[in-house]
């Protein structure tokens, strides 16, 4: 009997572990597929610019939207700063939020934290002043921070926070605020996805200003204007500072572009956001201007040969409508709009095209630095290095391989890590960039440490957060795990119940993704249903789901949760879409296509919406839909595009409120006839909360907590 009980228990635990793993895989695959779509979309922008209709000035509208003179991310003057955005903004007498004076003190940092706990918002003038002071200090810093523990004898390294303010509170609660004897490294991805990216950034920048020698901030792949357009930070700015959203967006992007790329601790440990590759050289990175690259005035334009399109497009270079790359001989300074795309100018199209031989273009590709000149020649490999630093992931395979899962950066193997550490005499590489169930993970025989500090990232209970304390002369690593919570918001769950809650949430996300691919799935199902019975075998259903969905999950195991079988044990494939249905109050005939690509459409929209007003013209929306159809290879006639535009122009003033368009989508649970809303990531008044006293105790259940709920006071 005891042997049977042990056998049953082991089978039970194995099934729970299988459910936990495929739940995690669903969350991660859907997250990374969004990043792939974003990179594909910008590759698409590059190749499509020369195919759009010209505006009245003879340039494609999308090219002008991307142009450095049009984007809020770019400041034209050589001494670009944020001070110009502050002029004319006064603090009203009715303002009840925190007040700031400069230089920032530790007392003011504590005041900010307490004000944010009380749901008070920092006035836009103080925000812009804070960003201006932060930018000034960043400008004085090199590309690579160098931190020392000679005084503190220890240092704390934190990973991604992604706008999760409760996690930052928890870190400060457990570890204390930054000080001379308590230095911190924050390893990028402060913003996007979470609801409090602005507040997280404000606190981190205030800590940096108060303790510039004890707080080290690295750039992550989400400290990027292109990523912010898709993953929520720009929407948060518009929501919280609508009247000044253009100035705030421009200022944040300026600050992000000055963030250092890496931190070296005691010449023993390297901290970067993503990873490394065979291209990465700290020596060459240290010599580059991360914000603006000086150019020789005699640069020329190159007419691209077909075989080089792919190479340059992977670097996210903007193509002008006359199909040439170039730089203005008048402007000697260029500035990054995004690390996903090298700098370009709207004046490119007016330059004289000069054809280059293939040999010359090949030389242009090489990573050659000319020490005899007073400027550093820009090479494509530099962008590859930056992308690899911010986007790469470690894998067990040897060498460097394309990061197909994310769509950017690379997979670097243990041999790359070994060679890099040996070359620079480092003992450890610390990086972030990946959510881990335990909040951290070692790779490459303990030589690579991943730290992720945003707990409950996918959903309540999905993962722990963690930070590392490097202590002593040998920088011995001590990991600290945590789960952010709010007092009074818990109901204890068993481990099995916790897995069931996470599984239900993951299945909701998976069903929504299935709905966006309904047409493709039906087409694939019917290939196996040659007799048009409406049923196929389980094996054929699994094969169809795997080929169309591109999500690596055990479809046979999930089959019972997604479809129904008939009496012959065959799958009724139309039942795959029974439980949920997309509803949209406009243009129902094409709602599936619009919902499937609404994130891409939103990104295109925000490029056109340069003043962040939330409105674009009818013609701009038509261009956006045209871009979308070409990007996705979806057949959408001009008449259908016009019908969509007209249906969205509710008051017939020629302007479209795109936010209303997005909010009009609804996912409806057909089984319960309830609207299923995605997990709230943007609400300022509702929080998903969990509570645990230790990791041996069950987790709390997800609940809605009003803004009146109080966090425990921060102990420092």
The answer to whether 682 touches 482, Cβ cutoff 8 Å, is no
- d(Cα 506, Cα 679) in Å, to the nearest integer? 11
Integer Rg of the chain from CA: 26
- d(Cα 82, Cα 75) in Å, to the nearest integer? 9
The verdict on residue 355 lying in a domain is no
What pLDDT, on a 0 to 100 scale, did the predictor assign at position 392? 92
The verdict on residue 214 lying in a domain is yes
593-597: long-range pairs with CB below 8 Å, 24+: 593/519, 593/632, 593/634, 593/636, 594/644, 594/665, 595/515, 595/516, 595/665, 596/516, 596/517, 596/632, 597/628, 597/631, 597/632, 597/634
Cβ density class 570-590: b for 16+ within 10 Å, e for less: bbbbeebbebbebebebbeeb
| Catalytic residue, candidates 173, 222, 225, 279 | 222
Query: Which CA distances in Å does 43 have to 194, 238, 395, 485, 573?
Result: 26, 26, 25, 40, 35
The CATH number of whichever domain residue 213 belongs to comes to 3.60.21.10
Provide φ and ψ at 198, rounded to 5°. Answer: -65, -45
The residue ranking higher by pLDDT, 312 or 493, is 493
What pLDDT, on a 0 to 100 scale, did the predictor assign at position 401? 87
The verdict on residue 476 lying in a domain is yes
What SS3 state is found at 101? coil
Domain that holds residue 610: 585-663
**Rounded mean pLDDT of 405-433?**
91
The verdict on residue 650 lying in a domain is yes
The verdict on residue 339 lying in a domain is no
pLDDT at 480 over 60: yes
The verdict on residue 475 lying in a domain is yes
What SS3 state is found at 273? coil
- d(Cα 672, Cα 578) in Å, to the nearest integer? 11
CA angle 309, 315, 320 (to 5 degrees): 60
What pLDDT, on a 0 to 100 scale, did the predictor assign at position 431? 97
What pLDDT, on a 0 to 100 scale, did the predictor assign at position 314? 32
- Among candidates 657, 511, 606, which has minimal Cα distance to 71? 606
Q: Say whether both 132 and 254 belong to one domain.
A: yes
The residue ranking higher by pLDDT, 438 or 307, is 438
- d(Cα 143, Cα 288) in Å, to the nearest integer? 8
What pLDDT, on a 0 to 100 scale, did the predictor assign at position 481? 95
What pLDDT, on a 0 to 100 scale, did the predictor assign at position 520? 84
- d(Cα 561, Cα 508) in Å, to the nearest integer? 11
Decide if 222 is catalytic. Answer: yes
State pLDDT tens for residues 127-138. 999 999 999 999
Total domains in the chain come to: 2
Residue given tokens 């108060």 in the structure block: 210
The CATH number of whichever domain residue 649 belongs to comes to 1.10.238.10
Q: What is the mean pLDDT of the chain?
A: 72
Q: Say whether both 234 and 113 belong to one domain.
A: yes
Strand spans (E) along 570-665 = 571-572, 580-583, 615-617, 655-657
What pLDDT, on a 0 to 100 scale, did the predictor assign at position 104? 95
Total residue count of the chain as it appears in this document: 716
Q: Among 482, 501, 518, which residue terminates a domain?
A: 482
State pLDDT tens for residues 328-384. 322 222 334 455 544 443 333 332 333 333 333 334 334 333 333 333 344 446 667
State pLDDT tens for residues 274-295. 999 988 889 888 887 777 532 2
Residue given tokens 């007092």 in the structure block: 487
pLDDT band at 62 (very low <50, low <70, confident <90, very high): very low
The residue ranking higher by pLDDT, 180 or 318, is 180
The verdict on residue 699 lying in a domain is no
- Give the pair of three-digit tokens for residue 396: 């067990």
């Amino acid at each position: 009997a005891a042997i049977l009980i042990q056998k049953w228990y082991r089978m039970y635990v194995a099934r729970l572990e299988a459910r936990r793993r495929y739940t995690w895989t669903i969350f991660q695959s859907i997250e990374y597929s969004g990043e792939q779509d974003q990179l594909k979309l910008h590759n698409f922008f590059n190749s499509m610019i020369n195919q759009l209709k010209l505006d009245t000035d003879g340039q494609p509208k999308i090219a002008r939207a991307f142009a450095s003179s049009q984007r809020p991310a770019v400041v034209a003057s050589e001494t670009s700063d944020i001070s110009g955005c502050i002029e004319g903004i006064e603090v009203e007498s009715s303002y009840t939020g925190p007040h700031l004076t400069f230089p920032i003190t530790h007392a003011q940092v504590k005041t900010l934290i307490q004000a944010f706990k009380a749901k008070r918002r920092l006035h836009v003038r103080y925000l812009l002043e804070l960003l201006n002071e932060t930018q000034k200090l960043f400008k004085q810093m090199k590309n690579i921070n160098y931190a020392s523990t000679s005084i503190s004898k220890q240092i704390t390294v934190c990973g991604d926070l992604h706008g999760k303010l409760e996690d930052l509170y928890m870190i400060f609660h457990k570890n204390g605020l930054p000080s001379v004897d308590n230095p911190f490294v924050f390893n990028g991805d402060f913003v996007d996805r979470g609801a409090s990216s602005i507040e997280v950034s404000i606190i981190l920048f205030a800590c940096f200003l108060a303790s510039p020698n004890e707080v080290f901030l690295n750039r992550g792949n989400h400290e990027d204007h292109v990523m912010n357009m898709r993953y929520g930070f720009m929407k948060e700015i518009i929501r919280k500072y609508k009247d000044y959203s253009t100035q705030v967006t421009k200022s944040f992007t300026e600050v992000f572009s000055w963030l250092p790329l890496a931190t070296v601790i005691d010449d023993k440990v390297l901290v970067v956001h993503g990873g490394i590759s065979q291209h990465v050289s700290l020596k060459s990175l240290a010599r580059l201007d991360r914000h603006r690259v000086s150019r020789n005035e005699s640069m020329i334009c190159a007419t691209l040969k077909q075989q080089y399109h792919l190479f340059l497009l992977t670097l996210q270079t903007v193509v002008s409508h006359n199909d040439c790359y170039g730089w203005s001989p008048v402007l000697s300074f260029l500035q990054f709009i995004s690390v996903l795309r090298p700098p370009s100018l709207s004046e490119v199209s007016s330059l004289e095209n000069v054809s280059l031989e293939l040999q010359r273009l090949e030389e242009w590709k090489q990573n050659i630095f000319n020490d005899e000149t007073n400027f550093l020649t820009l090479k494509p490999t530099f962008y590859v290095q930056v992308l690899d630093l911010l986007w790469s992931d470690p894998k067990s395979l040897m060498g460097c391989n394309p990061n197909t899962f994310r769509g950017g950066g690379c997979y670097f193997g243990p041999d790359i890590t070994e060679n890099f550490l040996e070359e620079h005499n480092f003992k450890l590489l610390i990086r972030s960039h990946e959510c881990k169930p335990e909040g951290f993970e070692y790779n490459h025989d303990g030589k690579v440490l991943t730290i992720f500090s945003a707990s409950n990232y996918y959903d309540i209970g999905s993962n722990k957060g963690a930070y590392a304390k490097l202590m002593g002369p040998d920088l011995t690593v001590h990991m600290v795990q945590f789960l952010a919570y709010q007092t009074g918001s818990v109901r204890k769950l068993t481990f099995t119940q916790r897995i069931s809650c996470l599984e239900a949430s993951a299945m909701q996300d998976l069903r929504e993704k299935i709905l966006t691919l309904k047409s493709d799935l039906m087409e694939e199902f019917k290939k196996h249903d040659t007799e048009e019975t409406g049923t196929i075998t389980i094996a054929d259903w699994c094969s169809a789901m795997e080929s169309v969905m591109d999500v690596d999950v055990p479809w046979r195991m999930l089959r019972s949760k997604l479809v129904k079988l008939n009496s012959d044990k065959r799958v009724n494939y139309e039942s795959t879409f029974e439980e949920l249905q997309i509803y949209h109050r406009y243009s129902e005939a094409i709602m599936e296509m619009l919902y499937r690509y609404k994130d891409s459409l939103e990104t295109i929209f925000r490029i056109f919406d340069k003043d962040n007003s939330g409105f674009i013209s009818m013609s701009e929306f038509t261009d956006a839909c045209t871009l979308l159809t070409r990007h996705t290879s979806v057949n959408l006639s001009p008449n259908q595009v016009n019908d969509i535009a007209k249906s969205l122009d509710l008051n017939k003033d020629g302007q479209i409120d795109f936010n209303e368009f997005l909010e009009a989508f609804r996912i409806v649970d057909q089984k319960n006839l309830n609207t299923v809303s995605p997990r709230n990531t943007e609400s300022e008044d509702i929080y998903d909360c969990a509570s645990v006293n230790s990791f041996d105790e069950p987790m709390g259940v997800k609940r809605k907590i009003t803004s009146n709920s109080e966090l425990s006071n921060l102990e420092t």
